[in-house]
Amino acid sequence: MASGLWVQPRAAQAQSPGVVEVPEDWALVPSGLGVGDEFRLLFRSSTQVDATSGFIGTWNSRAAARAAAGHEAIREHSSLFKVVGSTGSVDARDNIAMNPNNSAHLDVAVYWLGGPRVAANTAGFWGQSWENWSGADCRMEDGAVCTSPSSWPWTGTNGDGTKATQYLGNTPNVRHGSLAMGSNTSGPISKNQVVRTQSRPFFVMSPVFRVQTGAAAVVEVPADWALVPSDVGPGEGFRLLFRTSVSTRATDTDIAGYDAFVQKRAASGHAAIREHSARFQAVGSTAAVDARDHIAMNPTDAEHLDVPVYWLNGAQVAAGSAGFWSDAWAGAARNDCRDQNGGFNGQCNFASAIGHFWTGTNTDGTKHANPLGSSGNVRAGSFRNGKVFSYTDQPRGGNREMLAISPIFQVALPSPEVSASYTQVYEGERKVIVFETSALSVGFKVSALGGLTTNDYRIYSPPDAAVPLLGESWTATASNGLVKFALEGVSDSEADAGEALRVTLTSNGKALGRADIKVRDGERPLSLLFRVRRGSPTEEWVETDRPAVTLHEGGADVSYQIRVSRDAPGYTTANLHISPNPHELYRLDAIRPGPWDSDRFIYRDPGQHPQSDSTSLIVGTGGWKTVTFAAGQDEDAHNHGITLYHRVSPRGAGWSSSAADEDEGVPGIPNYERPEVVGWPVLAGPDSREYSAPSAGLQNELRYARVSPCRKPTVTACWTWPLPVQIVDDDKWEQELVYARHDPGANGGDGGPDGNWVLASDGGLRKALPAVLAPGSTYTFYIRLAVDPATLPKDGTVSRNQPQNYFQNGQLRTRQVDVYPPTFLPDRIPVWVAVKGARKDRHGVPDMRLLVTPNASGGVAPNSGTYFITDTSGTRNHPSVEADYNYRDNTPPGAKGSLLFWDEPMAVTIVVSADAPLGVSGT
């Protein structure tokens, strides 16, 4: 029995390793399967790729991406979908956990996603044919019939699920499977092999899905649901119990008959339970089933969730299953008892037969010797007589009431905040509000906050509709991963601060999230407007007042657009400067903008200003201007982020004219009008930085205040409009450092690494160091690269079997070579070490110092590190494979010097001064 309550359940939950439970009404449960049945889903990708990658992680990422873009029912489980494919290091049958020789792998039937059965079990899947595998049977990730069925999928796999000689990533050919078409009757997994550079689809397999039992299913209800007990909060679960107000006989031997009886009562009972009436069950035992198993409240079953039980619209019955299967609550039930309507059932307080109810059950929830459907008498309970489930035997033909219990209800957590493209809309303007979603259809519901009324706004769906919607809820179809509506602020003469529209999004009855959009008085202030790219698979421009962008290291350029919101003196065209926060530049030395791909942040267009971290362009009201930048690759495996700020300066003077008095005229120039200079308007924008009050001209009691720089006297331009930039480290190579401790006995007693190399991401440095270093001691540890760069993906493809001319004994000859491009790494990676936090004595001698062997000069901090050689480009004798690269043979003579190959360790020795005070710490 699982006690307490848990994380918020979803429509389907992973209940044990490799198994995901789904409800009976899940959209993709194959026809004919029911409660307790297990199955897998197979699809063939709608997209095509080459088979040059030999990394199973790359293929599984592709599989998960297709699932994430596929049928709505599988998207939340997309990360569990894997490719049916083998690489040089992994067999397909192990990758998808369908190895017939592994007892831990579940043996279940496989079905096409939304289609017929593929195989009855694992053995059938790894066979020479499948049950249904024609072009009409095949399904893609969205459940549609496969297009281009003759484009047979990559597998790199033999028919038994082991890796083929021509595995994924093999050169030059890779194995593929097939469909049953024409005369082809064999080889769904292993049909033939073709050159790996062709583009083909691939098979993708789901995890094991299991259909939930009805009683175990969790039903989510909103926090304001009418029957949520007062002491149950968000994320917590409970059951509801009622005693029927209608009687029945106990002659049926099938528990389903009693369930139907109580479900009929629930369907006509309290309004809040009617839609869930089919999930209520009778609290009773037949000869075939114990009550505690029937309603999934067996205290000895670890899979049964243990939650409190309450009378429907009443008090608590028991704190959990153990208390429920007892007589402890019989006395309270005499006064707390409720019927299906939530009202008091007075018969609970009768000691005579009218107060008895059928159970067929012992006090512990097991079946009684006289269960429901017995040929003579049937066991009954009686609250008034102090016995909940087992008080007396009654003739089965008599009419008695029954107890009915609900499924587990769980109070929904508050809807998560979701990002609307606009956070505020002003009177007189109509803005398109955009949300990103994976749902295909989204329900909207709006409610007013802070005095907002329906006279203050109008809603249009679709956004370009001519007539506004009536009512507070509607449904919209998502397209390209985006769902939209338009919101218009209606002009009025009232000043109403704090008004907002709360928008709640749902899909399939489940909350997706909510967003509050302010409806502001008056015209939108003079400001900047932004557009960013959103949507999948095809991005589109989305206007927003909360711009943010994501870069991927080594990935494609990313752009956003910008313009001035409306005409104003000086801003028809204006100067726009873009820079990270100047007050944080000292933290950006490692991610400074720069022109090289080795820098993490790169201004593309417009380019970076010389000797600064900024760029600039001309903006105005005449159209959108585009800013483009990118993220290069770096030597770590961490994400980064910066915030770009914008400063707008007016470009032209703002003039107004007034006719001059005659005595102010200029001789010889009749009707001269003297120009009158007016002040610049200040653009309004969100500002996250502040200045001290004195610099803003504030004195006396306000002198300690902090104010926006846009509010300083005479300021017409200020840094504002923050734009967060997230830099994701998911580039095509991943190199990392590994660390090892010192072993005095290594290398024949000369000392060296102990051979236990631990990744930096696994705490390698911490594990390579002792917790304490004593004064006067030394300690050595080692650093090297984790991965052979020659095996990492290339920045281009390998050119195979190329002719190369060379001279031998004065004769011109030709040979065949393979030409390798470089990896995504720089040619050399610097690695250096430093110790911080240590003090120096009065003679300037540090408490701790480092000795690094070898150490390199130039480009690396002096005496503190070296370079690792990572360039693996160039020619090799044909045929060749990535792993055959030999640094020692391919590095030109004299090029190595004191540099290290990837598998050569750099030794770091920490020397602690003999007079170092105790308690000194370093990092």
Report pLDDT digits (tens) over 17-41. Answer: 458 888 887 889 998 888 778 999 9
Closest-CA residue to 849 (of 859, 840, 860, 858): 840
pLDDT of residue 135: 92
Distances (CA, A) of 109 to 41, 77, 122, 335, 477: 9, 19, 7, 52, 34
Q: Highest-confidence range of 369-383, 464-478, 750-764, by mean pLDDT?
A: 369-383
pLDDT of residue 662: 44
pLDDT band of residue 177 (cuts 50, 70, 90) is very high
Q: Is the pLDDT of residue 343 over 90?
A: yes
CB under 8 Å to 336, separation ≥6 — which residues? 311, 314, 315, 317
Closest-CA residue to 542 (of 644, 443, 463): 463
Cα separation, 167 vs 156, in Å, equals 4
Q: Which residues of 735-770 are buried (b: 16+ CB within 10 A; e: fewer)?
A: bebbbbbbeeeeeeeeebbbeebbebeeebbeebee
In the block, which residue shows the tokens 């707390």? 336
Helix (H, G, I), strand (E, B) or coil at 702: helix
Count the residues in the chain: 923
Contact 13, 20 (CB under 8 A): yes
Q: Which residues of 594-624 are buried (b: 16+ CB within 10 A; e: fewer)?
A: eeebebbbbbeebebeeeebbbbeebeeeee
Report pLDDT digits (tens) over 637-681. Answer: 567 778 888 888 887 544 343 434 444 444 555 554 544 444 556
Does domain 415-524 correspond to CATH entry 2.60.40.10? Answer: yes
Does domain 218-411 correspond to CATH entry 3.10.100.10? Answer: yes
Contact 157, 164 (CB under 8 A): yes
Global pTM reads 0.51
pLDDT band of residue 9 (cuts 50, 70, 90) is very low
Higher pLDDT: 312 or 470? It is 312
Contact 31, 39 (CB under 8 A): no
pLDDT of residue 50: 93
Helix (H, G, I), strand (E, B) or coil at 90: coil
Pick the CATH number of 24-211 from 3.30.465.10, 3.10.100.10, 3.20.20.140, 3.50.50.100: 3.10.100.10
Query: What is the C-alpha R_g of the chain?
Result: 37
Cα separation, 543 vs 467, in Å, equals 22
CB under 8 Å to 859, separation ≥6 — which residues? 830, 867
Contact 227, 242 (CB under 8 A): no
Three-state secondary structure of 847-901: CEEEEEECCCCCCCCCCCEEEEECCCCEEEECCCCHHHCCHHHHCCCCCCCCCEC
Report pLDDT digits (tens) over 246-255. Answer: 999 999 999 9
pLDDT of residue 555: 77
Domain boundaries, the chain: 24-211, 218-411, 415-524, 525-731, 737-912
- Is 852 exposed, middle or buried, given 0-12, 13-18 or 19+ CB atoms closer than 10 A? buried
Residues 629, 631, 632: CA angle, nearest 5 degrees = 130
Q: Is the pLDDT of residue 278 over 90?
A: no
Report pLDDT digits (tens) over 133-155. Answer: 999 999 999 999 999 888 899 99
Higher pLDDT: 493 or 801? It is 801
Q: Is the pLDDT of residue 404 over 50?
A: yes
pLDDT band of residue 496 (cuts 50, 70, 90) is low
pLDDT (mean) for 880-898: 76
Cα separation, 331 vs 757, in Å, equals 67
In one letter, which amino acid is 725? V
User: What is the DSSP track for 601-662?
Assistant: BEEEESPPPTTSS-EEEEEESSS-EEEEEE----SS---EEEEEEEEEEE-S--EEEEEPPG
Q: Is the pLDDT of residue 355 over 70?
A: yes
Asked whether this chain's domains 24-211 and 415-524 adopt the same fold, the reply is no
% of the chain exceeding 70 in pLDDT: 82
Three-state secondary structure of 788-817: CHHHCCECCCCEEEEEEEEEECCEEEEEEE
Q: What is the mean pLDDT of the chain?
A: 83
Q: How far is CA 870 from the centre of its chain?
A: 33
Report pLDDT digits (tens) over 803-829. Answer: 999 888 888 999 999 888 887 677 777
pLDDT band of residue 691 (cuts 50, 70, 90) is very low
Cα separation, 668 vs 324, in Å, equals 107
User: What is the DSSP track for 758-785?
Assistant: EEGGGTHHHHHS-S---TT-EEEEEEEE
pLDDT band of residue 766 (cuts 50, 70, 90) is confident
Lowest average pLDDT, out of 87-101, 335-349, 431-445, 750-764, goes to: 750-764
Measured from the Cβ of residue 148, the count of other Cβ atoms closer than 10 Å reads 12
Cα separation, 903 vs 900, in Å, equals 8
